[in-house]
Chain A
Amino acid sequence: ETGVTQTPRHLVMGMTNKKSLKCEQHLGHNAMYWYKQSAKKPLELMFVYNFKEQTENNSVPSRFSPECPNSSHLFLHLHTLQPEDSALYLCASSQDWTSATYEQYFGPGTRLTVT
Chain B
Amino acid sequence: SQKIEQNSEALNIQEGKTATLTCNYTNYSPAYLQWYRQDPGRGPVFLLLIRENEKEKRKERLKVTFDTTLKQSLFHITASQPADSATYLCALPTGTASKLTFGTGTRLQVTL
Q: Which residues does A use to contact B, with CB under 8 Å?
A: 4, 31, 40-43, 45, 48, 55-56, 88, 90-92, 94, 96-109, 111
Contact = CB atoms under 8 A, between A and B. Distances in A.
Interface string B88-105: 010001001111111111
B46 A105 contact: yes
Nearest to B30: A100
B97 A90 contact: no
Contacts, number: 67
Interface stretch (B37-45, B57-65, B66-74): B37-45
B28 interface: no
A106 B101 CA distance: 15
A35 B100 CA distance: 11
Interface residues of B, number: 24
A94 B93 CA distance: 14
Contacts of B45: 106
Interface in B20-67: 32, 34, 41-46, 49, 51
Nearest to B48: A103
Nearest to A31: B98
A108 B43 contact: yes
A6 to B, nearest CB: 8
B90 to A, nearest CB: 10
A48 B43 contact: no
A56 B89 CA distance: 22
A105 B99 CA distance: 14
Given A103-B46, A111-B41, A98 B104 contact: no
A3 to B, nearest CB: 9
B96 A101 contact: no
A111 B32 CA distance: 31
Given A31-B98, A42-B89, 13 more contacts: A4-B43, A41-B104, A42-B103, A43-B89, A45-B100, A91-B43, A97-B98, A100-B32, A100-B93, A100-B98, A100-B99, A105-B46, A106-B44
